[in-house]
């Protein structure tokens, strides 16, 4: 099986590669990376002859055409994105360019490759629960038919990503599947994300480099957490069992406030005197405060279910930063 992964240097992309290498015996991975991409998530893949890295930027159609012609993929995992909602408030144009124009460029080059008989892959277009924005209380749990109310430039960009992905399926009969993943965490998650930021600060304090405070934003927002290992397993099942042109929510079983998750992380620390402190810079101009998914459609199609919960997520985040710092 020949697999193209966009965004392999990121959190999910690197774990997706790990899953494929461990579970798919005949896999050959072709991976996009930019010259400025950080490599800490993929260093362990260097030297593995099953992984081929190619310089590629989603905003450069020439580089996309080149890697598609080299890879001739059977499967595409489209994971490359500007994926940090907070950053999107400061860089809306870059966010929209990467996530909407970049996705369109990829789909267009795959369309051309299909017409030329080069390849006709199954494409997993990985979107986000952020597209639903702020649901009303009677709309929870959130289904795939829920209203779309994007609340920040990132979520607006993922709506565009979804619509372009659906367009290429409908217009050109491309084998596109769209997933909307809810909160997912684990080792290698960047410290700009809430739980990883908390874990990073806790470990800094454990090592004597902190001031005893864990700084946070809104702790009342509700999330349903999914472990990264379960997330990438879900993505593997999606390409094998889901219907082309359909949208599927994927989310865990364990729902709590961000504050509850922070309390659990603090309870697992070797430091017993940590205190919480609100930091206004960590509060979004518009916040998505209620994310509880219905994954029933996906679970019926794939028989997927989470195997790890918030305990394992917290352990993995803390242990990751203890190893890195």
- Reading the chain (325 residues) residue by residue, the pLDDT tens digits are 999 999 999 999 999 999 999 999 999 999 999 888 889 999 999 999 999 999 999 999 999 999 999 999 999 999 999 988 888 999 999 999 999 999 999 999 999 999 999 999 999 999 999 999 999 989 999 999 999 999 999 999 999 999 999 999 999 999 999 999 999 999 999 999 999 999 999 999 999 999 999 999 999 999 999 999 999 999 999 999 999 999 999 999 999 999 999 999 999 999 999 999 999 999 988 888 899 999 999 999 999 999 999 999 999 999 999 999 9
103-107 contacts, C-beta under 8 A, 24 or more apart: 103/58, 103/78, 103/160, 103/161, 103/164, 103/165, 104/164, 105/58, 105/59, 105/60, 105/61, 105/64, 106/6, 106/58, 106/64, 106/76, 106/78, 107/164, 107/165, 107/168, 107/174, 107/176
Please, what's the b/e burial string for 101-119 (b: 16 or more CB within 10 A of its CB; e: otherwise)? bbbbbbbbbbbebbeeebb
- Distance in angstroms (rounded) separating the CA atoms of residues 163 and 107: 12
Tokens of 36: 């400025």
Domain boundaries, the chain: 2-184+227-250, 187-223+254-292+303-324
Q: What CATH code is assigned to 187-223+254-292+303-324?
A: 3.90.25.10
In CATH, what number does 2-184+227-250 get? 3.40.50.720
> Residue 127's closest CA among 175, 59, 75, 184?
184
Cα(155)–Cα(84) distance, rounded to whole angstroms? 10
Same fold, 2-184+227-250 and 187-223+254-292+303-324: no
Confirm whether pTM is higher than 0.85: yes
């Amino acid at each position: 099986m020949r697999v193209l992964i966009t965004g392999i240097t990121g959190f999910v992309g690197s774990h997706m590669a790990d899953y494929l290498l461990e579970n798919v015996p005949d896999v050959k991975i072709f991976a996009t990376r930019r010259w400025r991409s950080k490599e800490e998530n993929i260093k362990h893949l260097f030297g593995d002859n099953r992984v081929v890295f190619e310089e590629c930027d989603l905003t450069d159609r020439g580089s996309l055409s080149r890697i598609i012609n080299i890879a001739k993929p059977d499967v595409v995992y489209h994971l490359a994105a500007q994926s940090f909602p907070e950053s999107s408030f400061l860089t809306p144009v870059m966010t929209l360019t990467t996530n909407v124009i970049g996705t369109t460029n990829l789909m267009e080059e795959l369309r051309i490759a299909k017409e030329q008989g080069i390849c006709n892959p199954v494409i997993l277009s990985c979107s986000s629960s952020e597209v639903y924005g702020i649901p009303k209380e009677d709309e929870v749990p959130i289904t795939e038919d829920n209203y779309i109310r994007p609340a920040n430039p990132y979520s607006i960009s993922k709506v565009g990503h979804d619509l372009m992905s659906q367009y290429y399926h409908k217009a050109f009969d491309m084998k596109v599947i769209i997933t909307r993943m809810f909160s997912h965490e684990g080792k290698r998650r960047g410290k700009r994300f809430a739980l990883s930021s908390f874990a990073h600060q806790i470990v800094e304090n454990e090592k004597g480099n902190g001031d005893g405070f864990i700084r946070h934003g809104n702790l009342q927002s509700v999330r349903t957490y999914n472990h990264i290992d379960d997330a990438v397993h879900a993505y593997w099942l999606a390409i094998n069992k889901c219907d082309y042109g359909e949208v599927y929510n994927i989310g865990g079983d364990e729902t709590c406030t961000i504050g509850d998750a922070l309390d659990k992380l603090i309870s697992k620390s070797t430091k017993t005197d940590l205190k919480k402190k609100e930091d206004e810079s960590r509060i979004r101009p518009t916040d998505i405060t209620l994310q509880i998914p219905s994954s029933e459609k996906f679970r019926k199609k794939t028989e997927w279910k989470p195997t790890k919960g918030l305990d394992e997520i917290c352990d993995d985040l803390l242990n990751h930063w203890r190893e890195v710092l």
